[in-house]
Structure 1
Amino acid sequence: MKACLVAFHYPHASHREEFIERVQRVAEIFRRTPGCLSADCWVTGDAVVSTVQMESAEALDSALAAVMATAGADIVFDDRETRPREIHRLAAP
């Protein structure tokens, strides 16, 4: 069953471009993990939205672990963001 992760990030305006670059780097790491169907960066209003679609929930869990272990994958919430991220994990019916 396919699995998806959608995260809404809210960077300060002064960090918006830098944040988009961060999300794009992480998406590239996701794309290289086994089972990745897509990983993208989107923008809307004040949010930068990241999406990852994987072949299964297990593939998503493995990919998250790989991304967190990768040097240069800056995925930790910090003071460059105006509020906490909204992260939604979805599963195909």
Structure 2
Amino acid sequence: MNVAMIASHYPHAAYREEFVERVRKVAEVFRGMPGCLSAECWLSEDAVVSIVRWESDEAFAASLAALGTADVDVAFDEREARPREIVRLAAA
């Protein structure tokens, strides 16, 4: 069963472009992992949004575990105006 994750990041305006680059780098790492079907960066008026799809729960879990050792910045800190919103989805 395919699974997906939508993560909305709300950076302060001064950090918006930096967040776009951060999300693109994380998407690139995800795309290189087994079982990742797609990883993209989208923009809304106030958010930088990542949408990632995997072929299974196992691939999803392995990707998240591997992300911890990748050379990417995923820290939540003062650059964000409010907490991230992360939604995990499963294919119907």
Match of 2:8 in 1: 8
Match of 2:89 in 1: 90
SS in 1 for 2:51: strand
User: What amino acid does structure 1 have at the position aligned with 2:12?
Assistant: H
Match of 1:75 in 2: 74
Task: Identify unmatched segments of 5+ residues in structure 1.
Answer: none
Aligned residues with identical type, % of pairs: 59
- Residue 35 of structure 1: how far off its partner (Å): 0.3
Q: Which runs of 4+ in 1 moved over 2 A?
A: none
Task: Identify unmatched segments of 5+ residues in structure 2.
Answer: none
What TM-score, normalized by structure 1, do the two folds share? 0.96
Structure 1 position 48 matched with structure 2 position 48: yes
**1:78 & 1:60 partners in 2: Cα distance?**
24
**1:68 & 1:5 partners in 2: Cα distance?**
17
Describe how 1:51-62 pairs up with structure 2 within 5 A: 51-62=51-62
**1:75 & 1:5 partners in 2: Cα distance?**
15
User: What amino acid does structure 2 have at the position aligned with 1:47?
Assistant: A
CA RMSD of aligned residues (A): 0.6
SS in 1 for 2:39: strand
Count of aligned positions: 92
User: What amino acid does structure 2 have at the position aligned with 1:3?
Assistant: V
Structure with the higher fraction of residues in strand conformation:
2
Structure 1 position 27 matched with structure 2 position 27: yes
**2:68 & 2:81 partners in 1: Cα distance?**
22
